[in-house]
Structure 1
Amino acid sequence: MSFVVNVALGLLFGIGLVVSGMADPAKVLNFLDLFGTWDPSLAFVMSGAVLVAFIGYRLVWARGRPVASGGFHLPARNDIDTRVIVGPAIFGIGWGLGGFCPGPALTSLGLGAAGTLAFVPAMMLGMWAARLLAEARAQARSA
């Protein structure tokens, strides 16, 4: 059941990305270009997402437990380390240069967008390298 719920939610998310224009890197780059061809329309998308998330979180927390799981899975750590600073910085640089972040990139790959043919493999390589680095750091700490 959980798999079906996750697939349905992923499809809904992907459709939302396409409808909102987040799967179009030119629209994203224009949103980020404050002093050039700035397109503020994605600010409305972001505002709508914040509103939906705000209401959604309130409803979910009021239930006490998720619908498709035995309990909430919350992060155990709340400290700020180099990974918390460097990771988002790399993410932001990649988003600014390519106009994609992971969700819209995968959605655009399904739509046949040419830029994703380079971006998605590079993103996967970066994710793999980050995992290898994390494993190496964990082994170094335990040794």
Structure 2
Amino acid sequence: MSFLVNLALGLLFGIGLVVSGMSDPAKVLNFLDLLGTWDPSLAFVMGGAVVTAFIGYRIVLRRPKPVAASAFHLPAKTDIDSKVLVGPAIFGIGWGLGGFCPGPALTAATLGATGAYVFLPTMFLGMWLARIVANRKLAAAAA
């Protein structure tokens, strides 16, 4: 049952990305081009997502447990460290250069967008390298 729920949610997410234009790197890059051909429409997509998440979290967290899990898994750390600052900065730079973030890149790849075929392998390479660096830091701290 969990697989079907996740599949349905993934399909809904992908359809939302296509309908909103987030899977089109030109639309994303025009949103980021404040001094050129700025397209503010993605701000409305982001605003809708923020409002939906804000309301959704308040409704869902009133429940004793999630529908498809035994407990909620919420982050325990609340401090701002270098990971919280550097990670999003790297993400934002990649988003600005490529016009993709991970979800829309996967959606765009299924639609045949050639830029996604360049973006996705480099994204996975970056994730793999970040994991190696994190594991080395953990090993050095434990030693």
Amino acid in the other structure paired with 1:135: N
SS in 1 for 2:66: coil
Residue 21 of structure 1 corresponds to which residue in structure 2?
Answer: 21
- The 5 Å alignment of 1:46-85 reads 46-85=46-85
Q: Which residue number in structure 2 is paired with residue 99 of structure 1?
A: 99
* Offset, 1:4: 1.9
For residues 67-112 of structure 1, what are the alpha-carbon distances to aligned partners after superposition, in whole Å with 9 as ceiling and x for unaligned? Answer: 1111100112222221111111100000011100001001101111
Deviations 1:109-138 (A, max 9, x none): 111101011100000000000111111110
User: Partners in 1 of 2:75 and 2:47 — Cα distance?
Assistant: 25
Residue type at the aligned position of 2:51: L
- Alpha-carbon distance in 2 for matches of 1:89, 1:45: 21
Instruction: Provide structure 2 residue ranges, at least 5 long, that are not aligned to the other structure.
Output: none
SS at match of 1:63: coil
Deviations, residues 19-41 of structure 1 (Å, cap 9, x unaligned): 00000000000011111100011
What is the TM-score with the length of structure 1 in the denominator?
Answer: 0.96
Letter in 2 for 1:109: A
Equivalence for 1:137: 137
Which runs of 4 or more aligned residues in structure 1 lie more than 3 Å from their structure 2 counterparts after TM superposition? Answer: none
CA distance in 2, matches of 1:77, 1:40: 34
Shift of 1:6: 1.4
Q: Which structure 1 segments of 5+ residues have no match?
A: none
Give the secondary structure class of the aligned counterpart of 1:62: coil
For 2:120 and 2:138, the matched residues in 1 are separated by 27
Identical residues among aligned pairs (%): 72
CA distance in 1, matches of 2:105, 2:28: 12
| Other-structure match for 1:12 | 12
Aligned to 1:112: 112
**Is 1:38 equivalent to 2:38 in the alignment?**
yes
State the 1:3 CA deviation. Answer: 2.2
How many residue pairs get aligned? The number is 143
